[in-house]
Structure 1
Amino acid sequence: MSSSSSSSFPAVLTCKAAVAWGPGQPLVIEEVEVSPPQPMEIRIKVVSTSLCRSDLSAWETQAIFPRIFGHEASGVVESVGPGVTEFSEGDHVLTLFTGECKTCRHCTSGKSNMCQVLGLERRGVMHSDQKTRFSIKGKPIYHYCAVSSFSEYTVVHSGCAVKVSLAVPLEKICLLSCGVAAGLGAAWNVADISKGSTVVIYGLGTVGLSVAQGAKVRGASQIIGVDINPEKSEIAKTFGVTHFVNPKECNDSIQQVINRITDGGADYAFECIGDTGMITTALQSCCQGWGLTVTLGVPKVNPELTAHYGMFLSGRTLKGSLFGGWKPKSDLPSLVDMYSKKDIQIDEYITHNISFEDINQAFTLMKEGKCLRCVIHLPA
């Protein structure tokens, strides 16, 4: 990394980043210029980042390129922009793909984590001036989810990062900035799983297994995991799954199988795949009267949902979940504390540790279904 100025003020710096030049094209390690943080922004030295399925999906399908993906990350504050008072150089932070301004209607409601100011950013530019902080030879390189952590350095709005204890390992807790927290929150905040209840989870990736962990902590009596990958069976037990069901091995429909296991349908169903057709299946595997289906997956195709009104007339409920309902800046420190006290598992989701230069290997492993989370380690 090199800086363009020896001044005490933050200057443009040059570092390495994994740039996606087009949909589905292998990422290329490039020298990029990273602008200094503007008002209410911070520049972060990324320490560890992991590949989330939404990165993979966007890389395959989205139209904004060239781009730096990555949003599940941890790092150290390198510099702060004007007006920033809550962060200082050297602070350890988690990045947030959806921010929290703490002043808008949603942030102050106590009912929502959908910040009206710093919510999901899909346009590839910074909130404040609609410009990028990355460039190569003067040409803009676009952001992803307000984070872009596949870079040695990145710039985020101060509302899109949260300070964490210096004592916790950054290479582990990066998973809390998206997948693990999303699953735990869906179980605890959105569904509010009760003790002794029955739960079915469609899709046993990191998010689905985090739902399982959350259900286990809440004392669910049955936690049924549904996945077409037979290799998920054993690891699922680690996170609390009591029954593993592979639809490819069932003669009856999966909802019929679930209804038999649960004596009439599960209390809670979670769709963690991103398949709108599977949402209908999840609804059908819930019990009448109070069955609740929570959808966490983000579909790549066919985003419209079709369901028979009788599903809801019979008392079933469908809810959506973004980041598990957590208010990210307010709530994530409590999850970090739970990890420190060994009240929740994180390390067990990390199936591969990969060097930054080998980042494309992480994409291959996820496409082939051979990993949960690949943690990518940036150069020190």
Structure 2
Amino acid sequence: MASTAGKVIKCRAAVAWEAGKPLVVQEVEVAPPQAMEVRLKILYTSLCHTDVYFWEAKGQTPVFPRILGHEAAGIVESVGEGVTELAPGDHVLPVFTGECKECAHCKSEESNMCELLRINPDRKVMIGDGQARFSVNGQPIYHFLGTSTFSEYTVVHSSCVAKINPEAPLDKVCVLSCGFCTGFGATVNVAKPKKGSTVAIFGLGAVGLAAAEGARVAGASRIIGVDLNSNRFETAKKFGCTEFVNPLEHTKPVQEVLAEMTNGGVDRAVECTGNINAMIQAFTTGNCFKCIELFGCYRGQLHPFVDATDL
């Protein structure tokens, strides 16, 4: 990789040229990283519903052509001026909510919504010089969430990269850069269920399973999974779910079912679908509890990631 440092790299990427149209796998040019940037060789990338949502551009500002993708794992190919904490060869995860470590939010114990690098789905270029690092025949190809992992090489801000243990299997830990940390982190860091408490998890997709794992690690004694697909319960057991409720199998509202099961309501509820009905059910299903709604308000910042019911 050292031979490519400072040079433009030609590689394959899946480019979204128009909203809702099939991605085109084609050759793109990836410019070298500038100051405080790193160029990554992406080895594994996952597909998150958020990628699909912005590809469809329904209700969103259409930004095309664009390289989507934000849940991935790779290796540092080269670094730009001023980067000291990362070096070529490091195994890393790109992170779409970076932290500059200097602003008031980064220094606060209450928020990590960095003033410089907080999630911004409308930002399409690098913050350093306002230019894209991708191009095709001289035409700029725009970035997505500062990561754009649907490319064999990508350029990101150095504070949007997490260095990981080189022994970690990259094909597994790629989901840590989005799906897992969203559910697990919200449960452990925000909901903070007490040992022996009861937690309801609405939605048992990837984020919901991570939330269940967070509740298990926190010591919850009852973790009730709520999902319209009963086939998900067997998998959910592996992540800590002790009970399962399918709202379609009951004649009364699911919040009433949960209240009867738990002598009045759960201690914590984590809503992981983005479905409005599920949000209402989660907010009304407990005693004095914290309800975390992951898709209406991501880490405190409102965004339109609603209708993510197939996660």
Q: TM-score, normalised by structure 2?
A: 0.91
2:168 aligned residue: 168
2:292 aligned residue: 294
- Secondary structure (helix, strand or coil) at the match of 1:291 reads strand
2:107 aligned residue: 108
Question: Do structure 1's residue 279 and structure 2's residue 275 form an aligned pair?
Answer: no
Contact 1:186/1:321, CA 8 A, preserved across alignment: no
Question: Do structure 1's residue 47 and structure 2's residue 43 form an aligned pair?
Answer: yes
Contact 2:202/2:208, CA 8 A, preserved across alignment: yes
**Rounded Cα–Cα distance in structure 2 between residues aligned with 1:23 and 1:125:** 19
Name structure 2 gaps, 5 residues minimum.
301-307
Mapping 1:208-357, distance limit 5 Å: 208-287=208-287, 290-298=288-296, 320-322=297-299
Q: Deviations over 1:276-318 (max 9, x none)?
A: 342221111111xx221111124xxxxxxxxxxxxxxxxxxxx
Shift >2 Å, 4+ stretches: 6-9, 275-278, 320-323
Measure how far apart 1:274 and its partner are.
Answer: 1.3
**Rounded Cα–Cα distance in structure 2 between residues aligned with 1:221 and 1:270:** 15
**Rounded Cα–Cα distance in structure 2 between residues aligned with 1:111 and 1:177:** 21
Provide the aligned length of Structure 1 versus Structure 2: 300
Q: TM-score, normalised by structure 1?
A: 0.75
Contact 2:275/2:309, CA 8 A, preserved across alignment: no
Counterpart of 1:59 (choices 52, 55, 74) is 55
- Secondary structure (helix, strand or coil) at the match of 1:184 reads helix
**Rounded Cα–Cα distance in structure 2 between residues aligned with 1:90 and 1:7:** 13
- Secondary structure (helix, strand or coil) at the match of 2:124 reads coil
**Rounded Cα–Cα distance in structure 2 between residues aligned with 1:169 and 1:229:** 30
**Rounded Cα–Cα distance in structure 2 between residues aligned with 1:321 and 1:230:** 27
**Rounded Cα–Cα distance in structure 2 between residues aligned with 1:167 and 1:51:** 23
Query: In angstroms, what is the RMSD of aligned CA positions?
Result: 2.0
**Rounded Cα–Cα distance in structure 2 between residues aligned with 1:243 and 1:321:** 27
**Rounded Cα–Cα distance in structure 2 between residues aligned with 1:217 and 1:9:** 42
Name structure 1 gaps, 5 residues minimum.
299-319, 324-366, 373-380
Q: Percent identity?
A: 52
Measure how far apart 1:368 and its partner are.
Answer: 11
**Rounded Cα–Cα distance in structure 2 between residues aligned with 1:17 and 1:207:** 26
Counterpart of 2:20 (choices 18, 24, 30) is 24
Measure how far apart 1:248 and its partner are.
Answer: 1.5
Q: Structure 2: which amino acid aligns with 1:82?
A: E
**Rounded Cα–Cα distance in structure 2 between residues aligned with 1:226 and 1:142:** 38
